[in-house]
């Protein structure tokens, strides 16, 4: 029977990658508020320290580790260290990501590869390291942070769209391959959210600002708080029969042709 308890995360260990700030920080903070123990990583010690201070300011005693999610050996060592120091991971959010906004014909192959490495290869690497512990425990939740670009393209984001489209299918494949172990793997597809990643698009004179508001029924940029409820739902027992689903939290963008000029 459904109750408030169905949405609680007490006793659960949640690893959120790249969560010193931005969407990852918001999701981890929501999980902490629902009772989870928070573990996060970032690529530089100074960012981990910044993140730890931000979590502490929010009253959250998080565990922070330096780890590049594209480095499989480092990720395997990180997961082992987390299991020794904190506990087996119950919830994994593959949040770490980058974007390079370059017209495809001007984009070098190394830049394309770097985006694919962080945004698609890394979720594979981290999920592969975490799933064995979830199988042993008899349950697990994996949430991949997808994008509007899992469904749509636009100029200058060819690598990012290819990665996020691939992440949608990796999500479905993990759901297919490990559902029998009571592991649910779903995605969250945020719309356009106010974070450092989109800051270049939100300068007052940037045409994209007005454009995206005209494409969003909610007529506003999203805030990281808008993602907290959906992220808690997908991490909780309330979603134990939801698997392979991409939950778009986009204010209605994907449903809307856009406001007539």
Residue choice 52, 55, 62, 70 for contact with ligand NAP (CB under 6 A): 70
Size of the residue set binding ligand GCO (CB under 6 A): 14
State the Cα–Cα distance between residues 58 and 55, nearest whole angstrom: 5
Q: Are 90 and 14 in contact, with CB atoms under 8 Å apart? A: yes
Site for ligand NAP in 136-195 (CB under 6 A): 145, 147, 190, 192-193, 195
CA–chain centroid gap for 58, Å, is 20
Q: Which helix (H) or strand (E) holds 249?
A: strand 246-249
The nearest distance, CB 17 to ligand NAP, in angstroms, is: 6
In the bound state with ligand GCO, the residue whose beta carbon lies nearer, of 65 and 192, is 192
Q: Which residue has the tokens 């004179």?
A: 205
Closest-CA residue to 48 (of 65, 31, 32): 65
Q: Decide if 99 contacts 61 (C-beta within 8 A).
A: no
CB of 181 to ligand NAP, least distance (A): 25
Residue 198 CB, nearest approach to ligand GCO (Å)? 5
- How would DSSP label each residue in 161-208? HHHHHHHHHHHHHHHHHHGGGTEEEEEEEE-SB-SGGGGGG-STT-HH
Q: Would you say 123 or 133 has its CB closer to ligand NAP?
A: 123
Please state, in angstroms and rounded to a whole number, the distance separating the CA atoms of residues 144 and 165.
Answer: 12
Query: What is d(CA 29, CA 59) in angstroms, rounded to the nearest whole number?
Result: 9
Q: Which is nearer to ligand GCO, 47 or 149 (CB)?
A: 149
Which of these segments, 42-50, 63-71, 77-85, 186-194, binds ligand GCO (CB under 6 A)?
Answer: 186-194
- Interface with ligand NAP, residue 69, by CB under 6 A: yes
Rule CB under 6 A: say whether 206 interacts with ligand GCO. no
Q: Least CB distance from residue 94 to ligand GCO, whole Å? A: 14
Q: Catalytic amino acids?
A: 160
Ranges within 87-116 binding ligand GCO (CB under 6 A): 99, 101
In the bound state with ligand NAP, the residue whose beta carbon lies nearer, of 35 and 252, is 252
Residue number with CB closer to ligand NAP (40 or 178): 40
Site string for ligand GCO, 139-158 (x = CB under 6 A): --------xxx----x--x-
How far CA 202 is from CA of 17, 197, 211, in Å, comes to: 25, 10, 11
Tokens 């999610």 map to which residue?
69
Which tokens belong to 76? Answer: 């395997």
Which spans of this chain sit near ligand GCO (rule: CB under 6 A)?
A: 99, 101, 147-149, 154, 157, 160, 190-192, 197-198, 201
Which spans of this chain sit near ligand NAP (rule: CB under 6 A)?
A: 17-18, 20-24, 41-44, 47, 68-70, 95-98, 118, 145, 147, 190, 192-193, 195-198
């Amino acid at each position: 029977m459904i109750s408030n308890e169905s949405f609680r995360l007490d006793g659960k260990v949640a690893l959120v990658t790249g969560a010193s700030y931005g969407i990852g920080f918001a999701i981890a903070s929501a999980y902490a508020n629902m009772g989870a123990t928070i573990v996060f990583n970032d690529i530089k010690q100074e960012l981990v320290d910044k993140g730890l201070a931000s979590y502490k300011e929010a009253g959250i005693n998080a565990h922070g580790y330096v780890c590049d999610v594209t480095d499989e050996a480092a990720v395997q060592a990180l997961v082992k260290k987390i299991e020794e120091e904190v506990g087996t991971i119950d919830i994994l959010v593959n949040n770490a990501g980058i974007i390079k906004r370059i017209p495809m014909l001007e984009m070098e192959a190394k830049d394309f590869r770097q985006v694919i490495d962080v945004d698609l290869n890394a979720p594979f690497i981290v999920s592969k390291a975490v799933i064995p512990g979830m199988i042993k425990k008899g349950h697990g939740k994996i949430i991949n942070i997808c994008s509007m670009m899992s469904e749509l393209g636009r100029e200058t984001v060819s690598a990012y769209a290819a990665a996020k489209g691939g992440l949608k299918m990796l999500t479905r494949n993990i759901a297919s391959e490990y559902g029998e172990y009571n592991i649910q793997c779903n995605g969250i597809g945020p719309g356009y959210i106010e974070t450092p990643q989109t800051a270049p698009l939100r300068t007052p004179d940037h045409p994209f600002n007005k454009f995206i508001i005209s494409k969003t029924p909610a007529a506003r940029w999203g805030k990281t708080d808008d993602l907290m409820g959906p992220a808690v739902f997908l991490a909780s027992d309330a979603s134990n029969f939801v698997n392979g689903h991409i939950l778009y939290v986009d204010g209605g963008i994907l449903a809307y042709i856009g406001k007539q000029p």
